[in-house]
Structure formats: structure tokens, C-alpha cells
Amino acid sequence: MASTLLSKTLLVNRFIHSFSSPSGNTQIFTSVFCKLFQFQANSTNVAYNPTRRFSSFMASSVSTHRAQFSSKSFTTDDPVVSPDWLHSNLKQPDLKVLDASWYMPDEQRNPIQEYQVAHIPGALFFDVDGVSDRTSKLPHMLPSEEAFAAVVSALGIDNKDGVVVYDGKGLFSAARVWWMFRVFGHDRIWVLDGGLPKWRTLGYDVESSASGDAILKATAASEAIERIYQGLAVGPITFQTKFQPHLVWDLEKIQENIAGRTHQHIDARSKGRFDGTVPEPRKGIRSGHVPGSKCIPFAQMLDSSQSLLPADQLKKRFEQEGISLDSPVVTSCGTGVTACILALGLHRLGKQDVAVYDGSWSEWGAHSDTPVDTAAS
């Protein structure tokens, strides 16, 4: 029952986003729907599955390496944390965990359903498509500061909290949410290295149902962003943003960079898409790349377990493509997701100011007047 409620809450609110009504009936429907599911979540016996105990051997082995966590005292220049570290600190009150799974349309995987089947104990679902700019036709564009603050507040996250984000592929869409938090000024954000697959491979437990609290927070977050883009008031804002404009680029900045070359531009798409030898997965978009950009497919940042490569190997990857770590970098990809994996890898190498072109190729390739290079040109 809990899983069904969560799925319907998020999916129907996505439907509401696509439904337009000048009379304001959209908001009425949203409010009624969310109140209905809040009532059902409160009145239904929704079981929260606590973490089951491991064998005494596993428990004693992990506890030997247990580290005390405090969001104020815990600092690291590394943008990822290990499953062992997360398991040791999972119950710390100022640590929040987000499942930010998202998949390409052709993968035919449903992240909401997968969250319901298995997620890290206590993790909340972060809807990459839902937490986006509702005024843009481009996929999952960065939302406004006000919208992001409303969503994160509804999820129960404060500025004092440390946040660990993961996904169902290992290291994929979690990097996008890591970047989003940093764009809005929250640096106490880390990606779980290897994601849910590595967590499960190591034998750590998962929950197979959403708690009543998770349902209510998902409902509140979904309703909050709808209300923000409809110009309506939302609940108390507990998360304060501080926008970092240097971390996000738009089409105009890319155009300026073609002439000025102030930043090295790295494209995370596959070599075939970059060269223009294979078609783009989205209809109506030209093949090729931004003039002057270089190709480092995001998969080259990861090992066979979908974990981030060690610093020395990452450095070698960038140097092989002629990227200087002493010069500024902007990254792009298809829709602004895997570009963040490049930014994550560069962050491990000490480059914390890497910009991401949010619209990426979905925007650039769709314009008829933007210059495009191919391997044949």
C-alpha cells in the first residue's frame, strides 16, 4: 500500500504539471489529491522496515571502523563516500540520504518503482525530473532558488545537515543532484561511491517499502514545487539557498566561449554522438558537438564497479585528452546529467569550480542557428 501511494503521488503530480488550466483548477486538483494521499498515508497501516541485523561477525567488523559523524566537523575534499562509511553513520541525526535514481528513456526503467522495491534504509526519493524548471521545455533543467529551497525543506533537510545521494546504476544521476545542491550553496553533499549496487554487493540491508514519513515528504515536496511555479505560498522554508552562478552555464555563455575560449569545454557524451556518426536519442536534435569542445565519455571516470576512479587515474584520463587542470573547465552532455560526473571527477582532482552547461546538447543541438562540428567537417 505504501509503495502504491508513493508512486501515485509522484506520477499524478507529474501529470498535473502537464495539465494546464487558466481557471486555476489545476491547483485545486493538486491540493485535493495531495490531501487525499496524506490522509490515506496517515490512516493506513504503513510499515517502516527497520534495518535488519547482520551476522555478529559483520556487525563487529563494521563497528571497528565506525566513525563519529557531525555535519559541522566532518569535512572532506573528496566528493564521494564509501558504502562502509555510510553504513557506519546511517543513523546520525544530521545525515540525510537521498535516492536520486534516474534513467535514460530507452532503458525502460522506472526509478520510483525501483525505490519502492529496494532502497537504503531511511532514504527519501529525489525526483530528478520533478525537481526542475517548470517554465522550460528542456528536460530536468535547474529549478529556481525558491523552488529548490521549497522542495528540500519539504524533504526535511536543513542547512546544517550532511547529505549523501545515490542512484541505482552505481554512479550516474546522483552526480546531477550533488551538483544541484552545490549550485544552491550547500557543500555538505556527497555521492555514494558505487551507489545502490555496491551497497547491496557488500551485503548491506535495504528497505522494500516506503514509510509513512517518506510518503508525506514526497507528497509535500511534489506539491511545493507545483505551488511555487503557480505563484502560490508554500510551507515554512527551512533550507536557505545561496546561488553560485559560476557553476551553471547557459547557451549564451557557451556561445561566448567559442570565441573567447576562456574555458576548456569537455563533452561527456559517447564518441559516436560527439563525432556525429550516430544519431541523437532525442528526435529533432542534430548530431555533432560544440566547436572547440573535447570528448571524454563519462564512463571513463568510472571503474568496473561504477565507482569513481582514483585521482591518479582520473588525472591521466584528462591529460590524455589535452585538458589542463590549471585552466577553467565547463562540461556538457546530452541533458546535463552525465556532465556532472565529469565535474565530480574534476572535483576529486581539486577543481571545485567546474561549470556545467545545464541545457547541454538537448538545447544546443535543437537550435538551427548554433554552430555544430562533426568528425567529417
User: Count of CB atoms within 10 A of residue 321's CB?
Assistant: 12
Query: Does residue 52 have a pLDDT over 50?
Result: no
What local confidence, expressed as pLDDT, does residue 43 receive?
A: 31
What local confidence, expressed as pLDDT, does residue 152 receive?
A: 98
The residue whose grid cell reads 553533499 is 189
Q: Which residues pair with 126 in a beta bridge?
A: none
Mean pLDDT along residues 364-373: 96
What local confidence, expressed as pLDDT, does residue 10 receive?
A: 52
Whether 339 and 332 have beta carbons less than 8 Å apart is answered as yes
Looking at the structure, do residues 115 and 252 belong to the same domain, yes or no?
A: no
Q: How far apart are CA 13 and CA 18, in angstroms?
A: 9
Looking at the structure, do residues 291 and 334 belong to the same domain, yes or no?
A: yes
Mean pLDDT along residues 283-290: 94
Considering the domain boundaries, does residue 350 fall inside one?
A: yes
Indicate if 340 belongs to the active site. Answer: no
Q: How far apart are CA 168 and CA 98, in angstroms?
A: 11
Q: How far apart are CA 267 and CA 296, in angstroms?
A: 6
In eight-state DSSP terms, residue 172 is S
Choosing from 34, 295, 333, 340, the catalytic residue is 333
Question: Would you give the distance in Å from CA 229 to the centre of its chain?
Answer: 20
Sequence-ordered list of residues with C-beta below 8 angstroms from that of 3, at least 6 positions apart, any chain: 113, 116, 117, 209, 210
Looking at the structure, do residues 204 and 263 belong to the same domain, yes or no?
A: no
Considering the domain boundaries, does residue 291 fall inside one?
A: yes
Considering the domain boundaries, does residue 327 fall inside one?
A: yes
Considering the domain boundaries, does residue 31 fall inside one?
A: no
**CA 301, 306, 307, 312 torsion-angle sign:** negative
Using one digit for the tens of pLDDT, what is the confidence trace for 157-205? 999 999 999 999 999 999 999 999 999 999 999 999 999 999 999 999 9
Question: Would you give the distance in Å from CA 247 to the centre of its chain?
Answer: 15
What local confidence, expressed as pLDDT, does residue 71 receive?
A: 47
Query: Does residue 277 have a pLDDT over 90?
Result: yes
Q: Which three cell numbers stand for residue 205?
A: 540491508
Looking at the structure, do residues 263 and 351 belong to the same domain, yes or no?
A: yes
Considering the domain boundaries, does residue 243 fall inside one?
A: no
Using one digit for the tens of pLDDT, what is the confidence trace for 85-97? 999 999 999 999 9
Using one digit for the tens of pLDDT, what is the confidence trace for 116-168? 999 999 999 999 999 999 999 999 999 999 999 999 999 999 999 999 999 99
Looking at the structure, do residues 162 and 284 belong to the same domain, yes or no?
A: no
Looking at the structure, do residues 125 and 197 belong to the same domain, yes or no?
A: yes
Q: Which of 230, 258, 278 is the endpoint of a domain?
A: 230
Looking at the structure, do residues 213 and 103 belong to the same domain, yes or no?
A: yes
Q: How far apart are CA 345 and CA 343, in angstroms?
A: 5
Looking at the structure, do residues 199 and 310 belong to the same domain, yes or no?
A: no
Confidence of residue 104 (pLDDT cuts 50, 70, 90): confident
Looking at the structure, do residues 97 and 215 belong to the same domain, yes or no?
A: yes
Helix ranges restricted to H, 120-270: 145-154, 174-183, 195-201, 212-229, 251-260
> What's the CATH number where 108 sits?
3.40.250.10
What local confidence, expressed as pLDDT, does residue 377 receive?
A: 77
Query: Does residue 28 have a pLDDT over 80?
Result: no
Number of domains in the chain: 2
What is the pTM assigned to this prediction? 0.83
Looking at the structure, do residues 116 and 200 belong to the same domain, yes or no?
A: yes
Considering the domain boundaries, does residue 272 fall inside one?
A: yes
Using one digit for the tens of pLDDT, what is the confidence trace for 294-338? 999 999 999 999 999 999 999 999 999 999 999 999 999 999 999
Looking at the structure, do residues 278 and 348 belong to the same domain, yes or no?
A: yes
Q: Domain span at residue 189?
A: 80-230
User: Count of CB atoms within 10 A of residue 369's CB?
Assistant: 4
Q: Which three cell numbers stand for residue 271?
A: 564518441
